[in-house]
Amino acid sequence: MPTVSVIIPSYNAAEYIAQTLESVLAQTLSDIEVIVVDDGSTDSTRDVVAEFACKDSRVTLVEQANQFAGVARNNGMAKARGTYLYFLDADDYIEKTALEELVDAIEKNHTDIAIAKSEGFDNETGNTWPIGGALNGMDFGCPVEHAEYCGKLFQSFIGWPWDKLFRKDFIDRIKLTFQPLRTTNDALFVFCALALAKNIVCLDSVLFHHRTNNKNSLEGSRAKSWNNALCAIRAIGDLLNESENGKACLNSYYRWILNYSIWTIESLPDNEADAYLREVEPIIHAIPRSTDLRLDPYENRLMELLDANRAKAISSAITTLRERDNAICERDNAICERDNAICEREELAHTLEAERRQFDSWRNESEKRLADIYASHSYKLGNTLLKPLSKVKDITRR
Protein backbone atom coordinates (compact mmCIF):
# COMPACT_ATOMS: atom_id res chain seq x y z
CA MET A 1 0.00 0.00 0.00
CA PRO A 2 1.54 3.36 -1.02
CA THR A 3 1.78 6.18 1.49
CA VAL A 4 0.25 8.80 -0.83
CA SER A 5 -2.07 8.52 -3.79
CA VAL A 6 -1.52 11.48 -6.11
CA ILE A 7 -4.60 12.04 -8.28
CA ILE A 8 -4.24 14.27 -11.34
CA PRO A 9 -7.25 15.09 -13.57
CA SER A 10 -6.04 16.09 -17.03
CA TYR A 11 -7.64 17.64 -20.07
CA ASN A 12 -5.57 18.81 -23.07
CA ALA A 13 -2.55 19.29 -20.80
CA ALA A 14 0.10 17.85 -23.13
CA GLU A 15 2.12 21.07 -22.99
CA TYR A 16 2.53 21.00 -19.21
CA ILE A 17 1.83 17.57 -17.77
CA ALA A 18 5.39 16.32 -18.23
CA GLN A 19 6.65 19.03 -15.85
CA THR A 20 3.84 18.16 -13.44
CA LEU A 21 4.66 14.45 -13.43
CA GLU A 22 8.40 15.05 -13.17
CA SER A 23 7.85 17.15 -10.04
CA VAL A 24 5.76 14.36 -8.49
CA LEU A 25 8.06 11.48 -9.42
CA ALA A 26 11.07 13.40 -8.05
CA GLN A 27 9.56 13.56 -4.56
CA THR A 28 11.79 12.75 -1.59
CA LEU A 29 8.87 10.56 -0.48
CA SER A 30 9.08 7.85 -3.12
CA ASP A 31 6.38 5.54 -1.74
CA ILE A 32 3.59 6.99 -3.86
CA GLU A 33 1.19 6.08 -6.63
CA VAL A 34 0.25 8.56 -9.35
CA ILE A 35 -3.18 8.20 -10.92
CA VAL A 36 -3.68 10.42 -13.96
CA VAL A 37 -7.32 10.50 -15.07
CA ASP A 38 -7.57 11.83 -18.60
CA ASP A 39 -10.87 13.63 -19.16
CA GLY A 40 -11.30 12.95 -22.89
CA SER A 41 -8.33 15.00 -24.10
CA THR A 42 -8.16 15.77 -27.83
CA ASP A 43 -4.41 16.46 -27.83
CA SER A 44 -1.48 14.14 -26.99
CA THR A 45 -1.94 14.21 -23.20
CA ARG A 46 -2.63 10.46 -23.02
CA ASP A 47 0.48 9.65 -25.04
CA VAL A 48 2.67 11.76 -22.73
CA VAL A 49 1.24 10.09 -19.62
CA ALA A 50 1.46 6.61 -21.17
CA GLU A 51 5.16 7.17 -21.81
CA PHE A 52 5.69 8.04 -18.15
CA ALA A 53 3.68 4.96 -17.12
CA CYS A 54 5.94 2.74 -19.24
CA LYS A 55 9.04 4.11 -17.52
CA ASP A 56 7.72 4.26 -13.95
CA SER A 57 5.36 1.65 -12.52
CA ARG A 58 4.04 4.16 -9.97
CA VAL A 59 2.14 5.96 -12.76
CA THR A 60 -1.29 4.75 -13.90
CA LEU A 61 -3.33 6.21 -16.74
CA VAL A 62 -7.12 6.13 -16.42
CA GLU A 63 -9.30 7.33 -19.28
CA GLN A 64 -12.86 8.71 -19.25
CA ALA A 65 -15.17 10.61 -21.57
CA ASN A 66 -15.12 14.36 -21.02
CA GLN A 67 -17.00 14.94 -17.75
CA PHE A 68 -14.72 17.58 -16.17
CA ALA A 69 -12.29 17.51 -13.29
CA GLY A 70 -14.72 16.68 -10.47
CA VAL A 71 -15.71 13.34 -12.01
CA ALA A 72 -12.05 12.66 -12.92
CA ARG A 73 -10.97 13.19 -9.30
CA ASN A 74 -13.75 10.90 -8.07
CA ASN A 75 -12.68 8.16 -10.51
CA GLY A 76 -9.09 8.55 -9.38
CA MET A 77 -10.10 8.46 -5.72
CA ALA A 78 -12.03 5.22 -6.32
CA LYS A 79 -8.81 3.55 -7.47
CA ALA A 80 -6.57 5.09 -4.79
CA ARG A 81 -4.84 2.72 -2.35
CA GLY A 82 -2.75 5.22 -0.41
CA THR A 83 -2.98 6.19 3.23
CA TYR A 84 -3.26 9.82 2.11
CA LEU A 85 -4.90 11.57 -0.84
CA TYR A 86 -3.32 14.43 -2.74
CA PHE A 87 -5.04 16.13 -5.70
CA LEU A 88 -2.85 18.05 -8.17
CA ASP A 89 -3.84 19.98 -11.30
CA ALA A 90 -2.23 18.83 -14.56
CA ASP A 91 -0.52 22.17 -15.26
CA ASP A 92 0.91 22.83 -11.76
CA TYR A 93 4.03 21.48 -10.08
CA ILE A 94 5.23 20.92 -6.52
CA GLU A 95 8.44 21.19 -4.53
CA LYS A 96 10.36 17.90 -4.24
CA THR A 97 9.83 17.75 -0.46
CA ALA A 98 6.12 18.63 -0.61
CA LEU A 99 4.59 15.21 0.04
CA GLU A 100 7.15 14.24 2.67
CA GLU A 101 6.58 17.48 4.59
CA LEU A 102 2.80 17.11 4.44
CA VAL A 103 2.83 13.48 5.58
CA ASP A 104 5.29 14.23 8.41
CA ALA A 105 3.10 17.11 9.58
CA ILE A 106 -0.06 14.98 9.68
CA GLU A 107 1.62 12.06 11.43
CA LYS A 108 3.46 14.14 14.02
CA ASN A 109 0.37 16.18 14.86
CA HIS A 110 -2.24 13.42 14.38
CA THR A 111 -4.51 15.54 12.17
CA ASP A 112 -6.96 14.81 9.35
CA ILE A 113 -5.61 17.42 6.91
CA ALA A 114 -2.35 19.27 6.26
CA ILE A 115 -2.19 22.58 4.35
CA ALA A 116 0.85 24.52 3.12
CA LYS A 117 1.57 27.80 1.35
CA SER A 118 1.67 28.19 -2.42
CA GLU A 119 2.72 30.66 -5.09
CA GLY A 120 1.24 31.61 -8.42
CA PHE A 121 3.20 32.03 -11.63
CA ASP A 122 2.17 33.59 -14.91
CA ASN A 123 2.33 31.16 -17.81
CA GLU A 124 3.26 33.93 -20.26
CA THR A 125 5.63 36.16 -18.29
CA GLY A 126 7.00 33.76 -15.67
CA ASN A 127 6.28 36.30 -12.91
CA THR A 128 5.63 34.75 -9.48
CA TRP A 129 3.81 35.93 -6.35
CA PRO A 130 2.65 34.45 -3.02
CA ILE A 131 -1.00 33.40 -3.19
CA GLY A 132 -3.04 35.42 -0.73
CA GLY A 133 -6.27 34.35 0.93
CA ALA A 134 -4.88 31.03 2.15
CA LEU A 135 -3.87 30.30 5.75
CA ASN A 136 -4.97 33.77 6.90
CA GLY A 137 -4.55 34.10 10.65
CA MET A 138 -3.52 30.46 11.14
CA ASP A 139 -0.84 29.08 13.46
CA PHE A 140 1.88 26.97 11.88
CA GLY A 141 3.52 23.69 12.85
CA CYS A 142 1.01 22.64 15.51
CA PRO A 143 -2.41 20.96 15.51
CA VAL A 144 -5.27 23.43 15.15
CA GLU A 145 -8.50 22.12 16.62
CA HIS A 146 -11.80 22.54 14.79
CA ALA A 147 -13.13 24.98 17.39
CA GLU A 148 -10.14 27.27 16.75
CA TYR A 149 -10.77 27.76 13.02
CA CYS A 150 -14.44 26.97 12.36
CA GLY A 151 -15.46 30.61 12.84
CA LYS A 152 -13.08 31.78 10.11
CA LEU A 153 -12.87 28.69 7.89
CA PHE A 154 -14.06 30.31 4.66
CA GLN A 155 -11.88 33.39 5.23
CA SER A 156 -8.72 31.44 6.11
CA PHE A 157 -8.69 28.84 3.32
CA ILE A 158 -9.34 28.65 -0.42
CA GLY A 159 -11.64 25.98 -1.86
CA TRP A 160 -9.09 24.19 -4.03
CA PRO A 161 -7.47 20.86 -3.08
CA TRP A 162 -3.92 21.10 -4.41
CA ASP A 163 -2.43 22.86 -1.36
CA LYS A 164 -3.83 20.19 1.00
CA LEU A 165 -3.17 16.56 1.94
CA PHE A 166 -6.12 14.49 3.21
CA ARG A 167 -6.12 11.39 5.37
CA LYS A 168 -7.95 8.81 3.21
CA ASP A 169 -9.77 7.01 6.03
CA PHE A 170 -11.17 10.40 7.12
CA ILE A 171 -12.48 11.14 3.60
CA ASP A 172 -13.91 7.62 3.32
CA ARG A 173 -15.66 7.96 6.69
CA ILE A 174 -17.42 11.25 5.83
CA LYS A 175 -18.12 10.02 2.29
CA LEU A 176 -17.06 13.21 0.51
CA THR A 177 -16.80 13.41 -3.28
CA PHE A 178 -16.28 16.16 -5.83
CA GLN A 179 -19.26 17.65 -7.62
CA PRO A 180 -19.72 16.80 -11.33
CA LEU A 181 -19.54 20.46 -12.40
CA ARG A 182 -17.63 22.21 -15.18
CA THR A 183 -16.17 24.76 -12.73
CA THR A 184 -16.17 25.16 -8.93
CA ASN A 185 -16.34 21.36 -8.66
CA ASP A 186 -13.84 21.26 -5.77
CA ALA A 187 -15.39 23.77 -3.32
CA LEU A 188 -17.81 21.31 -1.71
CA PHE A 189 -15.13 18.68 -1.15
CA VAL A 190 -12.51 21.06 0.24
CA PHE A 191 -14.62 23.31 2.44
CA CYS A 192 -16.68 20.46 3.87
CA ALA A 193 -13.58 18.36 4.57
CA LEU A 194 -12.22 21.29 6.59
CA ALA A 195 -15.60 21.78 8.27
CA LEU A 196 -15.88 18.14 9.31
CA ALA A 197 -12.24 17.54 10.27
CA LYS A 198 -11.37 17.05 13.94
CA ASN A 199 -8.20 19.10 13.48
CA ILE A 200 -5.70 20.29 10.89
CA VAL A 201 -2.07 21.39 10.66
CA CYS A 202 -0.65 24.28 8.61
CA LEU A 203 2.91 24.52 7.23
CA ASP A 204 4.79 27.78 6.84
CA SER A 205 6.43 26.55 3.61
CA VAL A 206 5.77 27.30 -0.06
CA LEU A 207 5.33 23.81 -1.50
CA PHE A 208 3.03 24.33 -4.51
CA HIS A 209 3.26 26.32 -7.74
CA HIS A 210 -0.02 27.21 -9.46
CA ARG A 211 -0.03 28.16 -13.15
CA THR A 212 -2.21 31.09 -14.27
CA ASN A 213 -2.85 32.63 -17.69
CA ASN A 214 -3.14 29.18 -19.24
CA LYS A 215 -5.32 29.44 -22.36
CA ASN A 216 -6.46 25.81 -22.00
CA SER A 217 -7.56 26.15 -18.38
CA LEU A 218 -11.24 26.39 -17.42
CA GLU A 219 -10.24 28.77 -14.63
CA GLY A 220 -10.46 31.76 -16.95
CA SER A 221 -13.85 30.88 -18.45
CA ARG A 222 -16.19 30.98 -15.46
CA ALA A 223 -18.63 33.12 -17.44
CA LYS A 224 -19.66 29.99 -19.36
CA SER A 225 -20.68 28.20 -16.16
CA TRP A 226 -21.27 30.91 -13.55
CA ASN A 227 -24.23 28.99 -12.10
CA ASN A 228 -21.91 26.12 -11.08
CA ALA A 229 -20.75 28.26 -8.15
CA LEU A 230 -24.36 28.55 -6.95
CA CYS A 231 -24.69 24.74 -7.11
CA ALA A 232 -21.62 24.51 -4.89
CA ILE A 233 -22.88 27.19 -2.49
CA ARG A 234 -26.22 25.41 -2.03
CA ALA A 235 -24.62 21.98 -1.58
CA ILE A 236 -22.12 23.29 0.96
CA GLY A 237 -24.89 24.90 2.99
CA ASP A 238 -26.94 21.67 2.98
CA LEU A 239 -23.98 19.60 4.16
CA LEU A 240 -22.94 22.05 6.88
CA ASN A 241 -26.43 21.94 8.35
CA GLU A 242 -26.26 18.16 8.76
CA SER A 243 -23.78 18.11 11.68
CA GLU A 244 -22.81 20.11 14.73
CA ASN A 245 -19.28 20.60 13.39
CA GLY A 246 -20.73 21.91 10.16
CA LYS A 247 -23.18 24.24 11.87
CA ALA A 248 -20.29 25.79 13.80
CA CYS A 249 -18.95 27.02 10.43
CA LEU A 250 -22.19 28.65 9.23
CA ASN A 251 -21.32 32.22 10.25
CA SER A 252 -18.11 32.03 8.24
CA TYR A 253 -20.02 30.41 5.36
CA TYR A 254 -22.64 33.18 5.27
CA ARG A 255 -19.97 35.85 5.20
CA TRP A 256 -18.20 33.98 2.39
CA ILE A 257 -21.42 33.97 0.33
CA LEU A 258 -21.56 37.76 0.55
CA ASN A 259 -17.90 38.30 -0.31
CA TYR A 260 -17.89 35.68 -3.05
CA SER A 261 -21.00 37.24 -4.58
CA ILE A 262 -19.41 40.70 -4.60
CA TRP A 263 -16.30 39.30 -6.31
CA THR A 264 -18.36 37.30 -8.81
CA ILE A 265 -20.59 40.20 -9.80
CA GLU A 266 -17.55 42.42 -10.31
CA SER A 267 -15.67 39.87 -12.40
CA LEU A 268 -18.45 38.52 -14.64
CA PRO A 269 -19.69 40.22 -17.83
CA ASP A 270 -22.86 42.32 -17.34
CA ASN A 271 -25.40 39.76 -18.59
CA GLU A 272 -23.96 36.92 -16.53
CA ALA A 273 -23.62 39.20 -13.48
CA ASP A 274 -27.31 40.12 -13.74
CA ALA A 275 -28.26 36.45 -14.00
CA TYR A 276 -26.10 35.62 -10.98
CA LEU A 277 -27.84 38.39 -9.00
CA ARG A 278 -31.25 36.92 -9.74
CA GLU A 279 -30.15 33.43 -8.69
CA VAL A 280 -28.24 34.40 -5.55
CA GLU A 281 -30.98 36.66 -4.16
CA PRO A 282 -32.98 33.87 -2.44
CA ILE A 283 -29.78 32.34 -1.05
CA ILE A 284 -28.76 35.62 0.55
CA HIS A 285 -32.32 36.31 1.67
CA ALA A 286 -32.29 32.95 3.52
CA ILE A 287 -29.37 33.98 5.75
CA PRO A 288 -30.89 34.11 9.27
CA ARG A 289 -31.39 37.68 10.48
CA SER A 290 -30.05 36.66 13.90
CA THR A 291 -26.72 35.49 12.48
CA ASP A 292 -23.63 37.09 14.04
CA LEU A 293 -21.49 37.60 10.94
CA ARG A 294 -18.83 39.75 12.66
CA LEU A 295 -18.87 42.01 9.63
CA ASP A 296 -16.60 44.95 9.01
CA PRO A 297 -18.26 48.41 8.57
CA TYR A 298 -18.72 47.99 4.82
CA GLU A 299 -20.30 44.55 5.23
CA ASN A 300 -22.58 45.85 8.00
CA ARG A 301 -23.80 48.54 5.62
CA LEU A 302 -24.31 45.86 2.99
CA MET A 303 -26.45 43.81 5.38
CA GLU A 304 -28.59 46.86 6.19
CA LEU A 305 -29.23 47.38 2.51
CA LEU A 306 -30.00 43.71 2.05
CA ASP A 307 -33.11 44.04 4.23
CA ALA A 308 -34.88 45.70 1.32
CA ASN A 309 -33.52 43.75 -1.61
CA ARG A 310 -30.36 41.83 -0.88
CA ALA A 311 -29.22 40.99 -4.39
CA LYS A 312 -29.76 44.53 -5.70
CA ALA A 313 -27.99 45.88 -2.65
CA ILE A 314 -24.85 43.98 -3.57
CA SER A 315 -24.85 45.63 -6.99
CA SER A 316 -25.53 49.03 -5.40
CA ALA A 317 -22.73 48.50 -2.91
CA ILE A 318 -20.32 47.62 -5.69
CA THR A 319 -21.30 50.80 -7.57
CA THR A 320 -20.76 52.79 -4.39
CA LEU A 321 -17.35 51.25 -3.90
CA ARG A 322 -16.39 52.04 -7.48
CA GLU A 323 -17.58 55.64 -7.08
CA ARG A 324 -15.63 55.90 -3.84
CA ASP A 325 -12.51 54.52 -5.51
CA ASN A 326 -12.94 56.96 -8.42
CA ALA A 327 -13.38 59.85 -5.97
CA ILE A 328 -10.26 58.78 -4.09
CA CYS A 329 -8.39 58.57 -7.39
CA GLU A 330 -9.60 62.05 -8.42
CA ARG A 331 -8.67 63.41 -4.99
CA ASP A 332 -5.22 61.87 -5.22
CA ASN A 333 -4.78 63.34 -8.71
CA ALA A 334 -5.83 66.78 -7.43
CA ILE A 335 -3.40 66.48 -4.53
CA CYS A 336 -0.68 65.45 -6.96
CA GLU A 337 -1.43 68.45 -9.22
CA ARG A 338 -1.44 70.76 -6.18
CA ASP A 339 1.87 69.35 -4.99
CA ASN A 340 3.34 69.77 -8.47
CA ALA A 341 2.13 73.39 -8.56
CA ILE A 342 3.67 74.02 -5.13
CA CYS A 343 6.93 72.46 -6.28
CA GLU A 344 6.91 74.62 -9.42
CA ARG A 345 6.15 77.75 -7.36
CA GLU A 346 8.89 76.95 -4.86
CA GLU A 347 11.31 76.23 -7.69
CA LEU A 348 10.43 79.59 -9.31
CA ALA A 349 10.85 81.34 -5.96
CA HIS A 350 14.27 79.74 -5.53
CA THR A 351 15.24 80.86 -9.05
CA LEU A 352 14.06 84.43 -8.45
CA GLU A 353 15.85 84.54 -5.11
CA ALA A 354 19.07 83.33 -6.74
CA GLU A 355 18.72 85.98 -9.46
CA ARG A 356 18.03 88.67 -6.84
CA ARG A 357 21.13 87.67 -4.93
CA GLN A 358 23.17 87.75 -8.11
CA PHE A 359 21.80 91.20 -8.97
CA ASP A 360 22.57 92.47 -5.46
CA SER A 361 26.07 91.09 -5.77
CA TRP A 362 26.57 92.86 -9.09
CA ARG A 363 25.10 96.13 -7.71
CA ASN A 364 27.26 96.00 -4.60
CA GLU A 365 30.31 95.31 -6.71
CA SER A 366 29.46 98.21 -9.03
CA GLU A 367 28.86 100.59 -6.13
CA LYS A 368 32.18 99.60 -4.57
CA ARG A 369 34.03 100.11 -7.84
CA LEU A 370 32.33 103.49 -8.26
CA ALA A 371 33.23 104.50 -4.72
CA ASP A 372 36.81 103.44 -5.35
CA ILE A 373 36.88 105.61 -8.47
CA TYR A 374 35.51 108.64 -6.58
CA ALA A 375 38.10 108.15 -3.90
CA SER A 376 41.01 107.77 -6.33
CA HIS A 377 43.71 110.47 -6.83
CA SER A 378 43.25 110.49 -10.61
CA TYR A 379 39.51 111.18 -10.28
CA LYS A 380 40.06 114.03 -7.87
CA LEU A 381 42.79 115.54 -10.12
CA GLY A 382 40.62 115.24 -13.21
CA ASN A 383 37.67 116.78 -11.42
CA THR A 384 39.82 119.76 -10.38
CA LEU A 385 41.05 120.32 -13.93
CA LEU A 386 37.55 120.10 -15.40
CA LYS A 387 35.95 122.67 -13.08
CA PRO A 388 37.15 125.77 -15.16
CA LEU A 389 35.77 124.21 -18.32
CA SER A 390 32.43 123.71 -16.60
CA LYS A 391 32.27 127.41 -15.75
CA VAL A 392 33.03 128.40 -19.35
CA LYS A 393 30.28 126.05 -20.51
CA ASP A 394 27.78 127.68 -18.17
CA ILE A 395 28.71 131.20 -19.41
CA THR A 396 28.33 130.12 -23.02
CA ARG A 397 24.83 128.76 -22.36
CA ARG A 398 23.77 132.14 -20.98
pLDDT tens column, 50-67 = 999 999 999 999 999 999
Tell me what pLDDT residue 217 has. 63
- In angstroms, the CA 195 to CA 190 distance is 9
Q: Which is nearest to 250 in space by CA: 233, 269, 272?
A: 233
Residues in the chain: 398
Q: Would you say residue 316 has pLDDT above 90?
A: no
The per-residue pLDDT for 377 is 56
Q: What is the pLDDT of residue 321?
A: 60
- How much is the pLDDT for 363? 72
pLDDT at 19: 97
Pick 390 or 349 by higher pLDDT: 349
Amino acid at 370: L
Domains (range + CATH), the chain:
4-294 (3.90.550.10)
Mean pLDDT of 210-217: 77
Q: Which one has a higher pLDDT value, 159 or 258? A: 159
286 has a pLDDT exceeding 90? no
Mean per-residue pLDDT for 352-361? 77
CA distance 352 to 358: 10
Cβ pair 157, 115 in contact under 8 A? yes
**pLDDT for position 285:** 80
Read off the pLDDT of residues 143-202 as tens digits, 9 standing for 90 and up: 999 999 999 999 999 999 999 999 999 999 999 999 999 999 999 999 999 999 999 999
